[in-house]
A and B are shown apart, each in its own frame.
Chain A
Amino acid sequence: QLQLQASGPGLMKPSETLSLTCTVSGVSISSSSYYWGWIRQSPGKGLEWIGSVYYSGSTYYSPSLKSRVAVSVDTSKSQFSLKLSSVTAADTAVYYCASHSGLQYFDFWGQGTLVSVSS
């Protein structure tokens, strides 16, 4: 069974760079079947796709966040990562990592990690 586990700092200050890592187990992160994505959920904006990565390193970003986002993959560690620069209070959310087969729907999700941005 595919499992994902997100980890990262829970509290940040404005203007910092958010860094999160998702560890994949139960399937090879290099499987040609899966893409790996980040989604966040906040009370104000609901569920929002941030970006996705393929094991080859190909990346896909939300147009609204593209200027601040970088998603990468480390196949040797079975991990993929999210970096979001210049965070503000509006970036406060639960961040989920998820898989999506063939860049389609999000079929397996991690448990989510809360990131709060406050001075």
Chain B
Amino acid sequence: EIVLTQSPATLSLSPGERATLSCRASQSVSNYLAWYQQKPGQAPRLLIYDASNRATGIPARFSGSGSGTDFTLTIGSLEPEDFAVYYCQQRSNWYTFGQGTKLEIK
């Protein structure tokens, strides 16, 4: 099983700041990595797929990068609605998710 480790567990920032979230895989997943956003009481929402492609309707302030074992989700300038939990997920070997990074308002 491919284990995804996200860091940090919690990130405290203010609106307008830039957020950088990390995901590290226990073995190479090529670029087969996605990012999801989850708000309380809601299902996850696909943001980024294949490491760097934005899903339909996702604002340009969300960007993804990386390949192999190290990946980054960047939110260029935080909006109030961006404070949520973010998960990475790989599809290289079945499907596994990271444990999440909570992005909270500072």
Contacts and interface: CB of A to CB of B under 8 A. Distances in A.
A48 B97 contact: yes
A96 B97 CA distance: 14
Contacts, number: 45
B89 A110 contact: no
B43 A112 contact: yes
A63 B100 CA distance: 22
A62 B34 CA distance: 18
Contacts of A60: 94
Interface in B52-106: 55, 87, 89, 91, 94-100
A35 to B, nearest CB: 11
Contacts of B95: 49, 62
A47 B86 CA distance: 11
Interface residues of B, number: 20
A34 interface: no
Contact of A105 (B42, B43, B89, B96): B89
Interface string B1-43: 1000000000000000000000000000000001010000011
A32 interface: no
B38 to A, nearest CB: 9
B91 A105 contact: yes
A43 B48 CA distance: 24
Contacts of B42: 111
A46 B46 contact: no
Contact of A109 (B44, B98, B100): B44
Interface in A14-66: 46-49, 60, 62-64
Given A104-B91, A105-B34, A105-B89, A110 B43 contact: yes
Interface of A: 46-49, 60, 62-64, 96, 98, 103-107, 109-112
